[in-house]
């Protein structure tokens, strides 16, 4: 069994490579990161007492009178977690829930009340609370939080005051917020009060200490999110994923994102603020940083001048990145470079579902909705194409139109597997995809399936049977006299059935590879070799797929 430090390194190495560049850019742009007030927070939470399961965490949350939730303003996942938690508390609590927000000045409470009563719409609320002028972070995740908690009958209050841009007076804002929280307790003596405030305000000697003095009998629980030092330590735990830890009796930390996603989100904010008036954010540096981080993890020299064990001048092959460009531009690009309408349709569907897509025929990554996990997957897909020398090759028939159906099928599976593997290396919080998950898909109703897909319910069930049989066949080929007829049928799937089946098999293989790497059953060198494997003139894709499966399963038996 690997040690905690080894597990931590295997899970975190690629992230740390990519994170170093982001942190350098932030330090160069934001000098406030070295202020004592901010150091009070970072230095206060270095270790935790225990890992919490979901039931233990919910018990602590339910038992608190006041919840102080730390908000990383630039990270949408932070506001999403707060909204989901408040909705859960409002649904399960026997007592009412009220919400206090740093984002809104207390002076603007009358505006919030008008919106709560439905007298004004979203646009007027945004303008009158001067959200863009006085706050400046993303509006969409914040408004989703507001709308969600309002729908659950939660009352909303502003807690902040001016000035926000002067760290020398930040302690006065803490005192003001603590006084406003006391007012909420007097106004709502039976309620559970949830406060969403910037994480640095929740250092033990900031707002929590003030509340302890003002409300000595109150049970206050601080809920931190994604604290770096705690995240890196938790990466060494002997479990697949740590959702929360108890830092001390009155402090917990939950994990719903990664440090790389946090700081990339903040870098994007800094970039947007520096380019006031620009229509679209610039995702290019983020995409290139993910590619370079994964390349360094795989010991790939981006400036190598020769092919072979390195892609020649990877730095010159980096893809063009389109940032939230118009639908018309996308339509023209696809018509120019991608001949088949089914392929164009598949790309549009991928963008609608995931917000980003790597287009090998154009060597470009198109981003309409930035989601770190999917952008990381597209970055890994590019690197795979670059390593095997297939960048900018014409896209035809899902990218592999010149191959026989069986090789075309398994080539696509392997592409999905390595893209998923790369995304897990860069974003370890991504949920695994396992064979057991297939059985849950059987429970989907006919109406659900046929409303979301172009295939029929019978076709869906046929695909599920194929996938389940394929996983069984992988694990015990000797029990089969010949390849089952359903597998022979499945590798000839076309259209959406081809996309669904190859993606599911690929993500399951990618999960198995990542698990084997973290457990030490396969090496980083082996993972690297997969990115360089070429089907043309070499081992058939089907044989290569099954060789990878045997390698991971053989290693598993040896380590048992």
Q: Look at residue 329 in the predicted model and tell me its pLDDT.
A: 75
Residues 70 and 100 reside in one and the same domain: yes
CATH number of the domain within which 50 lies: 3.40.50.11550
The b/e string for 439-473 (b: 16+ C-beta within 10 A; e otherwise) is eeeeeeeeeebeeeeebeeebbebbbebbbbbbeb
Only one residue has tokens 């007030």, namely 37
Q: Is 416 left (phi over 0), alpha (psi -120 to 50) or beta?
A: alpha
Q: Looking at 36-76, which runs of residues are DSSP E strands? A: 50-52, 66-71
Say which residues have a Cβ less than 8 Å from residue 118's Cβ, sequence separation at least 6: none
> By C-alpha distance, which of 381, 371, 140, 384 is closest to 261?
371
Residues 363 and 495 reside in one and the same domain: no
Reading the block at residue 153, the tokens are 């009958």
Number of independent structural domains in the chain:
3
Which residue range(s) make up the domain with 310? 279-396
CA dihedral for 185, 191, 196, 200, sign (positive or negative): positive
Residue 541 lies in a domain: yes
Residues 441 and 499 reside in one and the same domain: yes
HEC letters along 313-370: CHHHHCCEEEECCCHHHHHHHHHHHCCCHHHHHHHHHHHHHHCEEEECCCCEEEECCC
Residues 460 and 333 reside in one and the same domain: no
Residue 273 lies in a domain: no
If one counts every other C-beta atom within 10 angstroms of the C-beta of residue 282, the result is: 16
Residues 409 and 533 reside in one and the same domain: yes
Q: Look at residue 44 in the predicted model and tell me its pLDDT.
A: 93
- Those residues of the chain that have pLDDT short of 50 are 394-399, 557-560
Q: Of the residues 336, 362, 396, which one is the last residue of a structural domain?
A: 396
Evaluate whether 265 touches 74 at the Cβ level (below 8 Å).
Answer: yes
Residue 263 lies in a domain: no
Residue 283 lies in a domain: yes
pLDDT digits (tens, 9 = 90+) for 319-374: 888 886 667 777 777 777 776 777 788 888 888 889 999 988 888 899 988 899 99
Reading the block at residue 76, the tokens are 């949408």
**Neighbouring-strand partners of residue 364:** 320, 359
Instruction: Report the SS3 class of residue 250.
Output: coil
Residues 65 and 12 reside in one and the same domain: yes
State how far the Cα of 52 lies from the Cα of 254, in Å rounded to an integer.
9
DSSP 166-179: -GGGHHHHHHHHHH
The b/e string for 86-119 (b: 16+ C-beta within 10 A; e otherwise) is bbebbeeeeeebbbbbbbbbbebeebbeebeeee
Q: Look at residue 146 in the predicted model and tell me its pLDDT.
A: 97
Residues 362 and 496 reside in one and the same domain: no
Residues 98 and 166 reside in one and the same domain: yes
Evaluate whether 460 touches 497 at the Cβ level (below 8 Å).
Answer: no
Residues 413 and 507 reside in one and the same domain: yes
Q: Of the residues 366, 396, 426, which one is the last residue of a structural domain?
A: 396
Residue 271 lies in a domain: no
Residue 341 lies in a domain: yes
Evaluate whether 77 touches 66 at the Cβ level (below 8 Å).
Answer: no
Q: Of the residues 354, 372, 396, which one is the last residue of a structural domain?
A: 396
If one counts every other C-beta atom within 10 angstroms of the C-beta of residue 299, the result is: 11
Q: Look at residue 464 in the predicted model and tell me its pLDDT.
A: 92
Determine which helix (DSSP H) or strand (DSSP E) holds 252, and give its type and residue range: strand 251-254
Residue 274 lies in a domain: no
State how far the Cα of 197 lies from the Cα of 554, in Å rounded to an integer.
50
Q: Tell me the pTM.
A: 0.82
State how far the Cα of 496 lies from the Cα of 438, in Å rounded to an integer.
17
Residues 319 and 372 reside in one and the same domain: yes
Reading the block at residue 387, the tokens are 């390593």
CA angle 23, 29, 35 (to 5 degrees): 80
Q: Look at residue 559 in the predicted model and tell me its pLDDT.
A: 43
Residues 87 and 197 reside in one and the same domain: yes
Residue 272 lies in a domain: no
Q: What is the largest CA-CA distance in the chain?
A: 77
Evaluate whether 214 touches 175 at the Cβ level (below 8 Å).
Answer: no
Reading the block at residue 426, the tokens are 């860069």
Evaluate whether 500 touches 449 at the Cβ level (below 8 Å).
Answer: no
Q: Look at residue 35 in the predicted model and tell me its pLDDT.
A: 78
State how far the Cα of 115 lies from the Cα of 121, in Å rounded to an integer.
7
Q: Look at residue 547 in the predicted model and tell me its pLDDT.
A: 92
CA dihedral for 451, 455, 456, 460, sign (positive or negative): negative
Residues 242 and 290 reside in one and the same domain: no
Which alpha helices (H) appear in 93-128, and where do they start and end? 109-116, 122-128
């Amino acid at each position: 069994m690997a040690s905690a430090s080894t597990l931590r390194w295997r899970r975190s190495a690629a992230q740390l490579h990519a994170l170093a560049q982001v942190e350098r850019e932030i330090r160069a742009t934001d000098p406030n990161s070295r202020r004592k007030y901010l150091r009070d927070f970072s230095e206060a939470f270095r270790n935790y007492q225990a890992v919490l399961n979901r039931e233990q965490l919910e018990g602590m949350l339910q038992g608190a009178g006041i919840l102080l939730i730390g908000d990383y303003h630039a990270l949408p996942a932070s506001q999403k977690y707060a909204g989901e938690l408040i909705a859960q508390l409002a649904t399960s609590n026997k007592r009412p829930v009220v919400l206090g927000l740093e984002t809104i000045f207390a002076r603007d409470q009358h505006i919030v009340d008008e919106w709560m009563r439905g007298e004004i719409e979203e646009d007027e609320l945004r303008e009158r609370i001067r959200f863009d002028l006085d706050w400046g972070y993303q509006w969409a995740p914040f408004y989703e939080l507001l709308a969600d908690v309002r729908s659950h009958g939660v009352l909303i209050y502003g807690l902040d005051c001016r000035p926000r841009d002067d760290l020398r007076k930040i302690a006065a804002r803490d005192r003001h917020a603590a006084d406003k929280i006391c007012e909420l307790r007097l106004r709502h003596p039976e309620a559970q009060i949830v406060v969403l405030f910037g994480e640095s305000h929740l250092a033990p000697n900031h707002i929590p200490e003030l509340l302890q003095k003002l409300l000595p009998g109150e049970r206050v629980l601080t809920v931190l999110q994604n604290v770096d030092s705690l995240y890196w330590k938790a990466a060494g735990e002997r479990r697949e994923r740590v959702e929360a830890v108890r830092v001390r009796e009155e402090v917990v930390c939950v994990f719903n994102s990664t440090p790389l996603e946090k700081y990339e989100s903040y870098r994007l904010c800094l970039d947007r603020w520096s380019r006031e008036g620009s229509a679209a954010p610039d995702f290019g540096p983020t995409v290139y940083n993910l590619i370079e981080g994964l390349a360094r993890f795989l010991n790939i020299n981006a400036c190598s001048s020769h092919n072979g064990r390195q892609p020649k001048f990877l730095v010159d092959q980096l893809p063009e990145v389109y940032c939230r460009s118009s639908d018309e531009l996308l339509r023209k690009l696809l018509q120019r470079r991608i001949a088949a309408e089914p392929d164009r349709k598949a790309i549009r569907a991928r963008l609608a579902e995931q917000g980003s897509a790597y287009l090998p025929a154009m060597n470009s990554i198109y981003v309409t909705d930035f989601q770190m996990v999917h952008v990381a997957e597209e970055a890994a897909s590019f690197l795979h194409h670059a390593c095997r020398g297939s960048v900018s090759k014409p896209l035809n028939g899902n990218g592999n139109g010149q191959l026989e159906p069986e090789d075309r099928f398994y080539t696509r599976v392997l592409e999905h597997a390595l893209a998923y593997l790369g995304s897990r290396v860069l974003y370890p919080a991504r949920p695994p995809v396992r064979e057991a998950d297939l059985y849950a898909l059987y429970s989907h109703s006919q109406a659900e399936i046929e409303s979301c897909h172009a295939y029929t319910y019978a076709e869906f069930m046929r695909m599920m049977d194929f996938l389940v049989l394929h996983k069984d066949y992988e694990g015990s080929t000797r029990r089969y006299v010949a390849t089952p007829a359903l597998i022979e049928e499945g590798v000839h799937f076309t259209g959406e059935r081809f996309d669904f089946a190859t993606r599911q098999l690929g993500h399951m293989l990618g999960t198995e590879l990542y698990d084997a790497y973290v457990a030490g059953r396969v090496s980083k060198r082996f993972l690297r070799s997969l990115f360089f494997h070429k089907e043309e003139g070499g081992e058939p894709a089907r044989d290569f797929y099954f060789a990878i499966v045997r390698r991971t399963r053989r290693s598993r038996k040896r380590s048992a």
